[in-house]
Amino acid sequence: MASLVPASTSSSKYAADGADIDTQVQRIIADLPNINKQLQDAHPSEILAWSIDNLPNLYQTTAFGLTGCVTLDLVSRISSERAQKSGLAAHHLVPLIFIDTLYHFPQTLDLAQRAAKHYNAPMHVFTPTGTSTVQEFEDRWGPQLWQRDEDTYDYLVKVEPARRAYQELNVRAVFTGRRRSQGADRAALSAIEVDETGLIKVNPLLNWSFADVDKYVKENAVPYNELLDLGYKSVGDWHSTSLPVDKEAGERDGRWSDKAGKTECGLHRDYFKFKVLAEKKLREAELSRRDDARA
Protein backbone atom coordinates (compact mmCIF):
# COMPACT_ATOMS: atom_id res chain seq x y z
CA MET A 1 0.00 0.00 0.00
CA ALA A 2 1.34 3.43 -0.85
CA SER A 3 2.81 5.36 2.04
CA LEU A 4 2.00 8.86 3.16
CA VAL A 5 4.06 11.33 5.14
CA PRO A 6 2.69 11.60 8.70
CA ALA A 7 0.61 14.65 9.54
CA SER A 8 2.50 17.92 9.75
CA THR A 9 3.13 19.43 13.19
CA SER A 10 4.33 22.79 11.90
CA SER A 11 1.68 24.60 13.95
CA SER A 12 2.82 22.97 17.20
CA LYS A 13 4.39 25.22 19.83
CA TYR A 14 7.30 22.77 19.87
CA ALA A 15 8.01 23.72 16.24
CA ALA A 16 6.95 27.35 16.42
CA ASP A 17 10.41 28.76 15.63
CA GLY A 18 11.08 26.33 12.79
CA ALA A 19 12.83 23.84 15.06
CA ASP A 20 14.04 20.63 13.44
CA ILE A 21 12.54 17.28 14.42
CA ASP A 22 15.26 16.38 16.94
CA THR A 23 14.75 19.68 18.75
CA GLN A 24 10.98 19.24 18.73
CA VAL A 25 11.31 15.78 20.28
CA GLN A 26 13.66 17.04 22.98
CA ARG A 27 11.28 19.87 23.83
CA ILE A 28 8.36 17.45 24.09
CA ILE A 29 10.32 15.09 26.33
CA ALA A 30 11.32 17.99 28.59
CA ASP A 31 7.67 19.03 28.83
CA LEU A 32 6.29 15.53 29.57
CA PRO A 33 5.21 16.27 33.15
CA ASN A 34 3.01 19.15 31.97
CA ILE A 35 1.75 17.22 28.96
CA ASN A 36 0.72 14.24 31.06
CA LYS A 37 -0.94 16.48 33.63
CA GLN A 38 -3.02 17.85 30.78
CA LEU A 39 -3.83 14.50 29.16
CA GLN A 40 -3.97 11.91 31.96
CA ASP A 41 -7.77 12.04 32.23
CA ALA A 42 -8.50 13.14 28.67
CA HIS A 43 -10.80 11.31 26.26
CA PRO A 44 -8.92 9.16 23.72
CA SER A 45 -9.94 11.53 20.91
CA GLU A 46 -8.32 14.43 22.76
CA ILE A 47 -5.07 12.50 23.27
CA LEU A 48 -5.06 11.46 19.62
CA ALA A 49 -5.75 15.00 18.38
CA TRP A 50 -3.04 16.46 20.63
CA SER A 51 -0.57 13.87 19.34
CA ILE A 52 -1.41 14.50 15.69
CA ASP A 53 -0.92 18.23 16.25
CA ASN A 54 2.30 18.03 18.24
CA LEU A 55 4.29 14.85 17.62
CA PRO A 56 6.53 14.75 14.54
CA ASN A 57 6.83 11.59 12.42
CA LEU A 58 3.93 9.92 14.21
CA TYR A 59 2.81 6.37 13.34
CA GLN A 60 0.50 3.76 14.81
CA THR A 61 2.20 0.48 15.65
CA THR A 62 -0.52 -2.13 15.82
CA ALA A 63 -1.17 -5.87 15.79
CA PHE A 64 -4.87 -5.05 15.30
CA GLY A 65 -5.95 -5.91 18.80
CA LEU A 66 -9.24 -4.42 19.90
CA THR A 67 -7.66 -1.24 21.28
CA GLY A 68 -5.63 -0.75 18.11
CA CYS A 69 -8.76 -1.09 16.00
CA VAL A 70 -10.53 1.58 18.07
CA THR A 71 -7.52 3.88 17.75
CA LEU A 72 -7.56 3.36 14.00
CA ASP A 73 -11.27 4.24 13.85
CA LEU A 74 -10.84 7.37 16.00
CA VAL A 75 -7.90 8.60 13.91
CA SER A 76 -9.97 8.05 10.77
CA ARG A 77 -12.76 10.19 12.22
CA ILE A 78 -10.34 12.96 13.15
CA SER A 79 -8.82 12.78 9.66
CA SER A 80 -12.23 13.08 7.98
CA GLU A 81 -13.38 15.93 10.19
CA ARG A 82 -10.24 17.94 9.51
CA ALA A 83 -10.43 17.30 5.79
CA GLN A 84 -14.03 18.56 5.71
CA LYS A 85 -13.14 21.71 7.63
CA SER A 86 -10.19 22.47 5.37
CA GLY A 87 -11.99 21.57 2.16
CA LEU A 88 -9.21 19.15 1.22
CA ALA A 89 -9.43 15.55 0.14
CA ALA A 90 -9.54 13.19 3.10
CA HIS A 91 -6.50 11.08 3.91
CA HIS A 92 -5.65 9.04 6.98
CA LEU A 93 -3.31 11.19 9.09
CA VAL A 94 -1.34 8.48 10.89
CA PRO A 95 0.29 5.65 8.87
CA LEU A 96 0.27 2.12 10.29
CA ILE A 97 3.15 -0.21 11.12
CA PHE A 98 2.27 -3.92 11.29
CA ILE A 99 4.90 -6.37 12.51
CA ASP A 100 4.15 -9.69 10.82
CA THR A 101 5.82 -12.23 13.09
CA LEU A 102 4.92 -14.98 10.57
CA TYR A 103 3.03 -16.73 13.38
CA HIS A 104 -0.11 -14.62 13.49
CA PHE A 105 -3.50 -16.29 13.25
CA PRO A 106 -4.94 -16.18 9.70
CA GLN A 107 -7.77 -14.10 11.13
CA THR A 108 -5.27 -11.46 12.28
CA LEU A 109 -3.61 -11.26 8.87
CA ASP A 110 -7.00 -10.96 7.21
CA LEU A 111 -8.04 -8.18 9.61
CA ALA A 112 -4.83 -6.23 8.98
CA GLN A 113 -5.53 -6.05 5.24
CA ARG A 114 -9.26 -5.55 5.70
CA ALA A 115 -8.92 -2.73 8.25
CA ALA A 116 -6.21 -0.86 6.33
CA LYS A 117 -8.41 -0.98 3.22
CA HIS A 118 -11.57 -0.01 5.14
CA TYR A 119 -9.93 3.13 6.52
CA ASN A 120 -7.74 3.79 3.50
CA ALA A 121 -4.82 3.84 5.93
CA PRO A 122 -1.28 3.44 4.58
CA MET A 123 0.29 0.36 6.17
CA HIS A 124 3.95 -0.64 6.35
CA VAL A 125 4.53 -4.36 6.98
CA PHE A 126 7.79 -5.66 8.46
CA THR A 127 8.82 -9.29 8.92
CA PRO A 128 11.85 -10.91 10.63
CA THR A 129 15.11 -10.07 8.87
CA GLY A 130 15.72 -12.11 5.73
CA THR A 131 12.54 -14.17 6.08
CA SER A 132 9.01 -13.78 4.76
CA THR A 133 7.57 -17.24 5.50
CA VAL A 134 7.51 -19.66 8.43
CA GLN A 135 9.56 -22.13 6.39
CA GLU A 136 12.32 -19.58 5.77
CA PHE A 137 12.35 -18.58 9.42
CA GLU A 138 12.52 -22.16 10.67
CA ASP A 139 15.13 -23.16 8.10
CA ARG A 140 17.31 -20.46 9.62
CA TRP A 141 16.47 -20.70 13.33
CA GLY A 142 14.92 -24.14 13.73
CA PRO A 143 11.35 -25.12 14.63
CA GLN A 144 9.52 -23.85 17.71
CA LEU A 145 12.18 -21.34 18.69
CA TRP A 146 9.67 -19.80 21.12
CA GLN A 147 9.89 -22.98 23.20
CA ARG A 148 13.66 -23.30 23.11
CA ASP A 149 14.55 -19.63 23.65
CA GLU A 150 11.59 -17.33 24.03
CA ASP A 151 13.55 -14.10 24.49
CA THR A 152 15.51 -14.66 21.30
CA TYR A 153 12.29 -15.50 19.48
CA ASP A 154 10.67 -12.26 20.70
CA TYR A 155 13.72 -10.29 19.60
CA LEU A 156 13.81 -11.82 16.11
CA VAL A 157 10.10 -11.63 15.25
CA LYS A 158 9.01 -8.48 17.09
CA VAL A 159 11.70 -6.28 18.62
CA GLU A 160 14.21 -6.20 15.74
CA PRO A 161 11.58 -5.73 13.00
CA ALA A 162 9.97 -2.91 14.99
CA ARG A 163 13.29 -1.16 15.53
CA ARG A 164 14.10 -1.58 11.83
CA ALA A 165 10.73 -0.07 10.93
CA TYR A 166 11.36 2.92 13.17
CA GLN A 167 14.79 3.50 11.67
CA GLU A 168 13.75 3.08 8.03
CA LEU A 169 10.67 5.30 8.41
CA ASN A 170 12.34 7.78 10.79
CA VAL A 171 9.59 7.19 13.33
CA ARG A 172 9.75 9.47 16.35
CA ALA A 173 6.42 8.71 18.02
CA VAL A 174 3.91 5.86 17.97
CA PHE A 175 0.42 5.07 19.18
CA THR A 176 0.23 1.86 21.20
CA GLY A 177 -2.72 -0.28 22.29
CA ARG A 178 -1.75 -0.45 25.96
CA ARG A 179 -4.29 0.29 28.68
CA ARG A 180 -4.12 0.42 32.48
CA SER A 181 -6.94 -2.10 32.85
CA GLN A 182 -4.73 -4.75 31.22
CA GLY A 183 -2.84 -4.88 34.52
CA ALA A 184 0.70 -6.04 35.29
CA ASP A 185 3.32 -3.63 33.88
CA ARG A 186 0.57 -1.58 32.22
CA ALA A 187 -1.30 -0.60 35.38
CA ALA A 188 0.77 2.57 35.90
CA LEU A 189 0.78 3.88 32.33
CA SER A 190 0.98 7.57 31.51
CA ALA A 191 -0.70 9.08 28.46
CA ILE A 192 2.66 10.01 26.89
CA GLU A 193 5.89 8.15 27.64
CA VAL A 194 9.38 8.03 26.22
CA ASP A 195 11.46 4.85 26.10
CA GLU A 196 15.20 4.34 26.47
CA THR A 197 15.76 4.91 22.72
CA GLY A 198 14.02 8.29 22.76
CA LEU A 199 10.89 6.96 21.03
CA ILE A 200 7.72 8.69 22.24
CA LYS A 201 4.91 6.22 23.01
CA VAL A 202 1.32 7.40 23.23
CA ASN A 203 -1.31 5.34 25.06
CA PRO A 204 -4.52 7.06 23.93
CA LEU A 205 -6.95 4.58 25.48
CA LEU A 206 -5.05 4.18 28.75
CA ASN A 207 -8.13 4.89 30.89
CA TRP A 208 -10.60 2.65 29.07
CA SER A 209 -11.55 -0.83 30.23
CA PHE A 210 -12.06 -3.82 27.95
CA ALA A 211 -15.80 -3.21 28.29
CA ASP A 212 -15.38 0.41 27.14
CA VAL A 213 -13.39 -0.68 24.11
CA ASP A 214 -15.79 -3.50 23.27
CA LYS A 215 -18.77 -1.14 23.54
CA TYR A 216 -17.17 1.37 21.18
CA VAL A 217 -16.43 -1.36 18.63
CA LYS A 218 -20.02 -2.59 18.65
CA GLU A 219 -21.62 0.86 18.57
CA ASN A 220 -19.43 2.07 15.69
CA ALA A 221 -19.15 -1.08 13.54
CA VAL A 222 -15.36 -1.14 13.89
CA PRO A 223 -13.67 -4.06 12.04
CA TYR A 224 -12.19 -6.45 14.61
CA ASN A 225 -10.63 -9.89 14.93
CA GLU A 226 -13.32 -12.56 14.63
CA LEU A 227 -11.44 -14.68 17.19
CA LEU A 228 -12.92 -12.37 19.83
CA ASP A 229 -16.33 -13.83 19.05
CA LEU A 230 -14.97 -17.22 20.14
CA GLY A 231 -14.04 -15.91 23.59
CA TYR A 232 -10.50 -14.59 23.09
CA LYS A 233 -9.79 -11.16 24.59
CA SER A 234 -6.15 -10.63 23.62
CA VAL A 235 -4.74 -12.15 20.45
CA GLY A 236 -1.05 -12.57 19.64
CA ASP A 237 0.91 -15.33 17.91
CA TRP A 238 -1.11 -18.54 17.64
CA HIS A 239 1.30 -20.52 19.82
CA SER A 240 1.18 -18.03 22.71
CA THR A 241 -2.57 -17.33 22.67
CA SER A 242 -5.25 -19.44 24.31
CA LEU A 243 -8.82 -19.04 25.47
CA PRO A 244 -9.02 -17.71 29.05
CA VAL A 245 -10.03 -20.57 31.36
CA ASP A 246 -12.04 -18.25 33.61
CA LYS A 247 -14.51 -15.88 31.95
CA GLU A 248 -13.83 -13.39 34.74
CA ALA A 249 -10.05 -13.55 34.27
CA GLY A 250 -8.01 -10.58 33.12
CA GLU A 251 -8.06 -9.95 29.41
CA ARG A 252 -4.40 -10.91 28.93
CA ASP A 253 -4.67 -14.12 30.95
CA GLY A 254 -4.96 -16.02 27.68
CA ARG A 255 -1.50 -14.81 26.60
CA TRP A 256 1.53 -16.96 27.53
CA SER A 257 -0.68 -19.00 29.87
CA ASP A 258 2.11 -21.59 30.16
CA LYS A 259 4.74 -18.94 30.97
CA ALA A 260 4.24 -17.98 34.60
CA GLY A 261 4.76 -14.26 35.10
CA LYS A 262 5.23 -13.25 31.47
CA THR A 263 3.12 -10.24 30.48
CA GLU A 264 4.96 -8.56 27.58
CA CYS A 265 6.38 -9.75 24.25
CA GLY A 266 9.47 -7.55 24.35
CA LEU A 267 8.32 -4.46 22.47
CA HIS A 268 7.92 -2.57 25.73
CA ARG A 269 10.98 -3.90 27.52
CA ASP A 270 14.33 -2.10 27.67
CA TYR A 271 15.46 -2.28 24.05
CA PHE A 272 19.22 -2.01 24.63
CA LYS A 273 19.35 -4.68 27.36
CA PHE A 274 17.14 -6.97 25.30
CA LYS A 275 19.27 -6.41 22.18
CA VAL A 276 22.55 -7.18 23.96
CA LEU A 277 21.16 -10.39 25.46
CA ALA A 278 19.59 -11.59 22.20
CA GLU A 279 22.63 -10.83 20.04
CA LYS A 280 24.89 -12.66 22.51
CA LYS A 281 22.68 -15.75 22.24
CA LEU A 282 22.56 -15.47 18.46
CA ARG A 283 26.36 -15.30 18.24
CA GLU A 284 26.66 -18.36 20.46
CA ALA A 285 24.14 -20.24 18.33
CA GLU A 286 26.03 -19.35 15.15
CA LEU A 287 29.34 -20.54 16.62
CA SER A 288 27.69 -23.77 17.69
CA ARG A 289 26.32 -24.32 14.18
CA ARG A 290 29.80 -23.78 12.70
CA ASP A 291 31.33 -26.23 15.16
CA ASP A 292 28.69 -28.82 14.27
CA ALA A 293 29.36 -28.29 10.56
CA ARG A 294 33.08 -28.90 11.06
CA ALA A 295 32.57 -31.99 13.19
**pLDDT in 10s for each residue of the chain, 295 residues:** 334 445 556 679 999 899 999 999 999 999 999 999 999 999 999 999 999 999 999 999 999 999 999 999 999 999 999 999 999 988 999 999 999 999 999 999 999 999 999 999 999 999 999 999 999 999 999 999 999 988 899 999 999 999 999 999 999 999 998 998 887 777 789 999 999 999 999 999 999 998 999 999 999 999 999 999 998 878 889 998 888 766 655 555 555 445 544 445 556 566 777 777 777 777 776 676 666 666 5
CA distance 102 to 44: 31
pLDDT score of 18? 92
Residue 3 lies in a domain: no
pLDDT score of 262? 46
Domain range for residue 49? 13-294
The values of phi and psi at residue 124, to 5°, are -105, 125
Q: Exposed, middle or buried: residue 93 (CB in 10 Å: 0-12, 13-18, 19+)?
A: buried
Residue 6 lies in a domain: no
CA distance 215 to 295: 61
Is the CA virtual torsion 137, 143, 145, 147 positive or negative?
Answer: positive
CB 98 within 8 A of CB 112: yes
CA angle 225, 229, 231 (to 5 degrees): 110
Residue 28 lies in a domain: yes
pLDDT score of 128? 97
pTM, two decimal places? 0.85
**Number of domains comprising the chain:** 1
Residue 2 lies in a domain: no
CATH code at 246?
Answer: 3.40.50.620
Residue 284 lies in a domain: yes
- Nearest residue to 93 (alpha-carbon basis) of 161, 154, 24, 4: 4
Residue 79 lies in a domain: yes
CA distance 275 to 123: 26
Q: Is 69 a catalytic residue?
A: no
Residue 4 lies in a domain: no
Q: Which residues contact 119 (CB under 8 A, 6 or more apart)?
A: 72, 73, 76, 92
Q: Exposed, middle or buried: residue 69 (CB in 10 Å: 0-12, 13-18, 19+)?
A: buried
pLDDT score of 108? 97
Q: Which of 174, 265, 267, 278 is catalytic?
A: 265
